[in-house]
């Protein structure tokens, strides 16, 4: 597999890819409803970030959700827990002697570990 997406017909590569729908875990209704609170946003804001209607998110709060929406919500939660920017247009920043700087995910995680905040 050369890139993020497997070559056509390469099922094993697709199954090894963590972003593959073969590896997507279905979120329960309770998990969907807990996600906005865990992320510190409203249901409407999370729906905007996902590019879906608030109505869809409320429906998933009754039925659960699978597929790309499930993958996206899980990714948002993992990045939030890790202290990384997860919202569209958000960036990781740090403060240095020269002022505020933009950080890669790796730099942001290293800074958190140095402060004893991360894994």
Q: What is the pTM of this model?
A: 0.68
pLDDT in tens, 62-75: 999 988 899 889 88
User: Domains in the chain, start-ordered, CATH in brackets?
Assistant: 11-81 (1.10.260), 84-119 (no CATH)
Say how far apart CA 100 and CA 98 lie, in whole Å: 7
Nearest to 45 by CA among 82, 86, 79: 86
pLDDT value for 19: 54
Say how far apart CA 67 and CA 64 lie, in whole Å: 11
Say how far apart CA 74 and CA 17 lie, in whole Å: 15
Say how far apart CA 90 and CA 110 lie, in whole Å: 19
Provide the CB-side half-sphere exposure for 99 (13 A, CA): 0
């Amino acid at each position: 597999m050369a890139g993020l997406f497997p070559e056509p017909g390469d099922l094993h590569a697709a199954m090894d890819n963590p972003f593959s729908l073969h590896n997507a875990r279905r979120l329960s209704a309770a998990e969907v409803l807990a996600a906005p609170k865990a992320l510190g946003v409203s249901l409407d804001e999370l729906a905007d970030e996902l590019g879906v209607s608030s109505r869809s998110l409320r429906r998933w709060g009754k039925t659960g959700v699978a597929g790309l929406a499930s993958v996206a919500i899980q990714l948002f939660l993992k990045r939030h827990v890790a202290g990384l920017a997860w919202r569209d247009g958000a960036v990781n920043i740090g403060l240095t002697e020269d002022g505020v700087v933009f950080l890669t995910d790796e730099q942001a995680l290293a800074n958190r570990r140095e402060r004893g905040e991360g894994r």
